[in-house]
Structure 1
Amino acid sequence: MTAKKKILIRIGSLRHGGAEKVLVTFLKNLPKDKYEIDLLLNLYSGKYLSEVPDWINIIFLNKGEMITTNRPHEIPKKAARVIYQGTLKKFPNLLYKGKLKNKKYDIEFAAIHGMRDEILGSPLKSSKKIVWIHNDLSQVKGYTDDEIRKFFGFDKIMVISEKIEQLLLNLAKNDNEKQKIVRIYNPLDTEEFLTKAEKPVINYSFDGNIPTFISVGTVFPQKGFDRLLKVHKRLLDEGFKHKVLIVGDGYDFENIKKLKTELCVDETATMLGFTDNPYPYFKSADFYILSSRYEGFPTVLFEAITLKKRIISTEVSGAHEMLNNGELGLIIENSEEGIYQGMKQALSQPETFEKYSEKLKDYEMPFNLQNSVKKITSILDKL
């Protein structure tokens, strides 16, 4: 019998983000007899912790919830974490000799682009290095072409959409670099969405007479919830009755909540906060709206397609691929005006969405869980 491949996977935490969800779905579908996996988290926290299979060894640098505020009593703890994690990043030998007990890995895997330097800075020179890029880096602050080129230090660069693949291909200087790039659609479990969607809606009541737009995601500026609320206000002022439901949590939550009050839309817009099952809300809403400024490959559209929702999406990386170039949903200009036009169309001409619903009826996803897992494991096996 061949020896199990020893793999170190690194990610910040297992909080409620797309990349975290995708990683855990992937781990749940891996054959445990082939690999020995250490999952190293900077912070032992997040809703997906409980879903990690028990054969995977979880190691962490710090424990506790993420500190996103600057409350005086939390600053010492936050500072201690930053110093500790920064020291281990600067002197990786301390980490590998200490926490990782001098273990030798065959593969070291950055599960998000933010772990690039930690993996490339590993003292293990013989291990193969992989990164999984979930974001359109051309839209992420600080990622100049030179910064993005550093990813070619990896043996394999897994990307989740055509747009990210193209970005890297354009920056590659030779065939060797081009061959490192491989596109893999996110492993997502459609059965799970459909089963969870059957559960009851809690803490919210849908009104059958008033159209509701739902948007689900981590509350970051990237997601454009500020634009969504401003458009909501504008449409209400023009006499279009509707509701907006935002499901998710994140460091921008209080700012968006404050904006909602300033716009005087507290009666019609609801911020539900985080729920580990957004699917019943999806199912009951009339429209799904993606108001993001940028994305890597918006997993949430995959969920909306699976639940056969009428979809409006800003033109972000992955939107054309997901929505079959606009056959499965309305793709709008990536601006506040674009969001306004899209929502106004939904409210004033709902019949224009029937063609999307028709297409969605018998639509089969071109990417599925088994294919994605198979493709990733074949990369691991060949390295």
Structure 2
Amino acid sequence: MKKILIFSHALELGGAERALLGLLNSLDYEKYEIDLFLMRHQGELLRFLPKQVHLLPEIGAYTCLAVPIADVIKKKRADVLLGRINGKRNAQKFIRQNSLPVDNGVELEYSHKYTRKYMPKINEKDYDLAISFLTPHYFVTEKVNASKKIAWIHTDYSNIEIDEESELKMWDAYDHIVSISDACTRGFCCKFPGLEDKIIRIDNIIPAELIKEQADAFDVSEEMPEDGSIRLLSVGRFCNAKNFDSVPDICSRLMKTGLKIKWYLIGFGPDETLIREKIQEANMEDHVIVLGKKINPYPYMKACDLYVQPSRYEGNCVSVHEAQVLGKSVVITNYATAKSQLKDGVDGMIVPMDHEECAKGIAKILNDSQKMKALCEYCEKNNFVNNKEVEKLYAIL
């Protein structure tokens, strides 16, 4: 059997993490031996790991990454702490010198770059293929023995400020780079044109049957009551990219069209306080409802009347495809990769990012029952099962 190692951070709630589960559920375990190394054995999605996956033990040094520095101090890892501090100091210097916005990719990348020398090897095993599933991608190239190594792109690089020279060295160390959409590839190549020949497209694999099964797990009528309101739903991390802080103003404008709306938000993250402040500013407390973190968001997706992804930027949003699997009408904003996300007017609608125009676009689809029906019927007939994408991974071997 060929041996594959997959390296990732943890299995907390998130689109990339659910995409990883989709990949793991699609692999042929009669032909491939799969080891999974997670920096931290944490996350609500751990329980959904396929039983055939061999989860490697935690290694103390790796548990000190992507956590608050205070946690590193408690673990008495002076070496990793030194690397984290050096990374933070140098990242802040680079950010100041280049006048980068707060939402940038430098600090996380530097955190891994400056700690890698303190990280032990994952193990001494020789693999046929090693996959680094989430950036930064420093450890698979240096801490794993494998004949071939690949790294995954999950976001639109045209919308992220980074240290291009530093990241180029990181990406160039891989044999292949996997992109989840053509739009992601274009954004990536704007930053790294010399790496285009390394890119292979492998779409996020959506575990359709699992989603449908989980959608019937429980009743959500108490949290999303049928009270005559049109129920909108958005799912994602509460962060700048997802743009949930704009939802209260969009909802306010939408209600001025005469529609009775309740817009539910599922997720968690650093922007939760900002989102709640925006809800109060717009006097939308009765109409924009933060449901918070949900291990299983699918019963809520099944119950909603319209799924809305109001993002500022995306790679290839997993939750949009999950809503389509459940036969939902979907609206997304016109972020840079939107046209690679869905076919406008066929399996969903694309509306402008501008708040007023976004509200008008949502109102138009909600007032067109025939169009809503047609979108749902298309999604129900096209089950979005794409398990064959995994064969592109086999081809690399």
TM over 0.5: yes
Where 2:320 maps in the other structure, the secondary structure is helix
Query: How big is each residue's C-alpha offset from its partner over 1:233-262, in whole Å with a ceiling of 9 and x where there is no partner?
Result: 233356432111111122222332233233
Q: Specify the alignment match of 2:213 in structure 1.
A: 195
Q: Specify the alignment match of 1:290 in structure 2.
A: 309
Q: Specify the alignment match of 2:180 in structure 1.
A: 160
Q: Specify the alignment match of 2:283 in structure 1.
A: 264
Partners of 2:312 and 2:243 in 1: how far apart?
A: 6
- List gaps (5 residues or longer) in structure 1: none
Where 2:138 maps in the other structure, the secondary structure is helix
Q: Is the 8 A contact 2:154 2:315 kept in 1?
A: yes
Does 2:120 correspond to 1:96?
yes
Where 1:295 maps in the other structure, the secondary structure is coil
Query: How big is each residue's C-alpha offset from its partner over 1:191-216, in whole Å with a ceiling of 9 and x where there is no partner?
Result: 11222222333341322521111111
Q: Specify the alignment match of 2:107 in structure 1.
A: none
State the AA in 1 paired with 2:153. Answer: I
Task: From the superposition, tell whether residues 147 and 326 of structure 1 become closer, same or farther in structure 2 (CA, over 3 Å).
Answer: farther
Partners of 1:96 and 1:309 in 2: how far apart?
A: 46
Alignment of 1:187-226 (within 5 A): 187-202=205-220, 203-226=222-245
- List gaps (5 residues or longer) in structure 2: 85-110
Does 2:22 correspond to 1:25?
yes
Task: From the superposition, tell whether residues 83 and 127 of structure 1 become closer, same or farther in structure 2 (CA, over 3 Å).
Answer: farther
Partners of 2:166 and 2:77 in 1: how far apart?
A: 31
Does 2:148 correspond to 1:138?
no
Greater mean alpha carbon deviation, residues 275-284 or residues 236-245? 236-245
Q: Is the 8 A contact 1:222 1:294 kept in 2?
A: yes
Alignment of 1:21-100 (within 5 A): 21-54=18-51, 55-61=53-59, 76-77=73-74, 83=81, 86=84, 90=114, 92=116, 94-97=118-121, 100=122
Task: From the superposition, tell whether residues 89 and 323 of structure 1 become closer, same or farther in structure 2 (CA, over 3 Å).
Answer: closer
Task: From the superposition, tell whether residues 64 and 326 of structure 1 become closer, same or farther in structure 2 (CA, over 3 Å).
Answer: farther
Q: Is the 8 A contact 2:168 2:192 kept in 1?
A: no
Task: From the superposition, tell whether residues 78 and 339 of structure 1 become closer, same or farther in structure 2 (CA, over 3 Å).
Answer: farther
Query: How big is each residue's C-alpha offset from its partner over 1:246-280, in whole Å with a ceiling of 9 and x where there is no partner?
Result: 11122222332233233322222211111122112
Partners of 2:383 and 2:370 in 1: how far apart?
A: 23
Alignment of 1:187-336 (within 5 A): 187-202=205-220, 203-236=222-255, 239-336=258-355
Q: Is the 8 A contact 2:72 2:81 kept in 1?
A: no
Partners of 1:216 and 1:9 in 2: how far apart?
A: 26
Partners of 1:83 and 1:75 in 2: how far apart?
A: 6
State the AA in 2 paired with 1:109. Answer: I
Where 1:353 maps in the other structure, the secondary structure is helix
Partners of 2:112 and 2:267 in 1: how far apart?
A: 32
Does 2:392 correspond to 1:375?
yes
Query: How big is each residue's C-alpha offset from its partner over 1:98-139, in whole Å with a ceiling of 9 and x where there is no partner?
Result: xx3444444332102x2323334x056864220011111111
Partners of 1:65 and 1:214 in 2: how far apart?
A: 33
Q: Is the 8 A contact 1:12 1:42 kept in 2?
A: yes
Q: Is the 8 A contact 1:315 1:333 kept in 2?
A: yes
Greater mean alpha carbon deviation, residues 122-131 or residues 209-218? 122-131
Task: From the superposition, tell whether residues 361 and 89 of structure 1 become closer, same or farther in structure 2 (CA, over 3 Å).
Answer: closer
1:140 Cα deviation after fit: 1.9
Partners of 1:14 and 1:282 in 2: how far apart?
A: 21
Q: Specify the alignment match of 1:108 in structure 2.
A: 130
Partners of 2:77 and 2:292 in 1: how far apart?
A: 28
Considering only aligned residues, what root-mean-square deviation do their CA atoms show, in Å?
A: 3.3
Match of 1:128 among 125, 131, 148: 148
1:154 Cα deviation after fit: 1.3
Q: Specify the alignment match of 2:381 in structure 1.
A: 362
State the AA in 1 paired with 2:13. Answer: H
Query: How big is each residue's C-alpha offset from its partner over 1:17-62, in whole Å with a ceiling of 9 and x where there is no partner?
Result: 1111111222233233444444332222111222223441323345
State the AA in 1 paired with 2:156. Answer: D
Partners of 1:145 and 1:327 in 2: how far apart?
A: 41
Question: What TM-score results when the alignment is normalised by the length of structure 2?
Answer: 0.80
State the AA in 1 paired with 2:179. Answer: V
1:183 Cα deviation after fit: 0.6
Where 1:39 maps in the other structure, the secondary structure is strand
Task: From the superposition, tell whether residues 287 and 56 of structure 1 become closer, same or farther in structure 2 (CA, over 3 Å).
Answer: same
How many residues are treated as equivalent by the alignment?
A: 366
